[in-house]
Amino acid sequence: MIALARPPLTLSSTNESLLISAIRDATVDDDWENAKKLIIKIVGAEAPHICSMYTVYAITKRCCMSNVADDREVFMHALNACIFDAGVLSRGLAWFLTYAIA
């Protein structure tokens, strides 16, 4: 059961940084379609919902760990933009909570 709450090991810090950049650009430019394509390219051949879970995890991690108020505002806006369904949000948040507790 714990394994389900952990983010996949394939999510490297490099991929996380690329995801964050894609989401920041999408939020600022309001171009979510391009962001979705970039996210799939960054994460790889994973299913689209897995790519979205990775993204929610990376966004949540940045929101909670950043000392920069502008970062938190941009990424909270991304989470509130309703581009992620409830299941994806739940899994991404669970991955972050497991990371934060561990």
90-101 per-position pLDDT tens digit: 888 898 988 888
Return the structure tokens found at 71: 């970062």
Distance CA 89, CA 14 (A): 22
Helix orientation angle between 13-29 and 32-43, rounded to the nearest 10 degrees: 170
The Cα–Cα gap between 97 and 67 comes to 18
Contact 27, 78 (CB under 8 A): yes
> Which SS3 state, helix, strand or coil, does residue 47 take?
coil
Question: How do residues 32-41 score in pLDDT, each as one tens digit?
Answer: 888 888 888 8
The pLDDT of residue 37 is 87
pLDDT tens digits for range 40-59:
888 876 677 888 888 889 98
pLDDT at 2 over 60: no
Q: The whole model's pTM is what?
A: 0.84
User: Residue 84 — very low, low, confident or very high, per pLDDT cuts 50/70/90?
Assistant: confident
Tallying the residues shown for the chain, one arrives at 102
Domain locations in the chain as residue ranges = 12-101
